């Protein structure tokens, strides 16, 4: 079993077998990051460029560490101190860096489709680290890895994604991935934060949080993305918290052995209470740890595809 593409642009269209391959591969990398010496020679000689046009804490550091743990040569590009500030285009920027002989590019960009666009301009493998409101595939993979690690399966679990569905690339990638893996998926949020033609996702959707989370195994809570909202899409933060915030009181509606997730960064006291975020059922920091193993798996599996393409 191999991945069909040499890029990771999104989980839409990815098969259950491909997702399982990534998650299974991440299991052995998860073990490596618990070792006293967290380094293997797997990607020695491979150069990876981390190209972040948008802010990031978890994804950027996680990719950088994953590359170092695999012995890749890793370079990170800061737009604020680069010639992007002089007006250089994405295409020219990346083609110039590729001329210095890199093999893989990890890109985060505010524009949907920027990772796909790069695949048309350069020869390196491209990994999407979040593009606009489109997809964030490695986040959904690490979310699925975390759920599977706890329950031993994804099949048949009820997973509810709550919050700013309209602007969330994490929701989209989770929907495609979880559906492929046989989970029962529901989304919930204010009607103003639901995308047009929401029914096309093929999942249950709710504007009432109590109804959505009743009997759920996993609740994955999305951040309210103030930076992506061009208009006031709900009257006030207090009203959002009252209607959709996940509090200890609301947890009573969930299944026994429930799990609380959040991709971060969290707005504590808005979409999630501190009690819930720091509670025994929260796996928020475990998601971050698992993210490194999942990204090591993605880098490893895609680097093999480049070697194949060059033979």
The residues that touch ligand CP, with contacts defined as CB under 6 A, are 56-59, 130, 139, 263-265
Q: How far is the CB of 138 from ligand CP (least distance, A)?
A: 9
The minimum distance between CB 63 and ligand CP, in angstroms, equals: 9
Q: Which is nearer to ligand CP, 184 or 296 (CB)?
A: 296
Q: Which is nearer to ligand CP, 6 or 172 (CB)?
A: 172
Q: How far is the CB of 264 from ligand CP (least distance, A)?
A: 5
Q: What is the DSSP letter of 41?
A: -
Tell me the C-alpha distance between 179 and 140, whole Å.
12
The minimum distance between CB 130 and ligand CP, in angstroms, equals 6
Q: What share of the chain is helix, strand, coil (3-state, %, to 5)?
A: 45, 15, 40
C-alpha to C-alpha distance for 163 and 96, rounded to whole angstroms: 39
Indicate the residue among 57 and 247 with the shorter CB distance to ligand CP: 57
Q: How far is the CB of 129 from ligand CP (least distance, A)?
A: 7
Which residues does 121 contact at the CB level (< 8 Å), separation at least 6? 91, 94, 95
- Dihedral sign, CA of 134, 138, 141, 145? negative
Whichever of 98 and 165 has its CB closer to ligand CP, that residue is: 165
Nearest to 189 by CA among 151, 149, 246: 246
CA distance readout (Å), 10 to 129, 134, 138, 174, 216: 9, 8, 8, 10, 26
Nearer to ligand CP, 23 or 222 (CB): 222
């Amino acid at each position: 079993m191999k991945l069909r593409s040499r890029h990771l642009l999104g989980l839409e269209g990815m098969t259950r077998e491909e997702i399982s391959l990534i998650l299974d591969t991440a299991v052995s990398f998860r073990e490596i990051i618990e070792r006293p010496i967290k380094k293997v020679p797997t990607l020695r000689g491979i150069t990876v460029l981390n190209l972040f046009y948008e802010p990031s804490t978890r994804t950027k550091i996680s990719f950088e560490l994953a590359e170092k743990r695999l012995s890749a040569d890793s370079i990170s590009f800061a737009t604020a101190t680069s010639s992007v500030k002089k007006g250089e285009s994405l295409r020219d920027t990346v083609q110039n860096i590729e001329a210095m002989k890199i093999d893989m590019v990890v890109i985060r960009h505010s524009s949907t489709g920027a990772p796909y666009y790069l695949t048309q301009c350069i020869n390196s493998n491209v990994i999407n680290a979040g593009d606009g409101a489109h997809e964030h595939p490695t986040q959904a993979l690490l979310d699925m890895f975390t759920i599977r690690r706890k329950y031993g399966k994804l099949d048949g679990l009820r997973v509810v994604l709550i919050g700013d569905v309209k602007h969330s690339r994490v929701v989209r990638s989770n929907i495609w991935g979880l559906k492929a893996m046989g989970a029962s998926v529901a989304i919930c949020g204010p009607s103003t934060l639901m995308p047009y033609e929401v029914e096309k996702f093929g999942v249950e959707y709710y504007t009432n949080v109590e109804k959505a989370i009743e009997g759920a195994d996993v609740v994955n809570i999305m951040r309210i993305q103030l930076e992506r909202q061009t208009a006031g899409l709900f009257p006030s933060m207090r009203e959002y918290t009252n209607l959709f915030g996940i509090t200890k009181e609301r947890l009573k509606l969930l299944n026994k052995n429930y799990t609380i997730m959040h991709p971060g960064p969290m707005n504590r006291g808005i979409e999630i209470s501190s009690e819930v975020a720091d509670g025994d059922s929260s796996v928020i920091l475990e998601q971050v740890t698992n993210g490194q193993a999942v990204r090591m798996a993605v880098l490893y599996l895609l680097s093999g595809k480049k070697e194949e393409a060059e033979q």
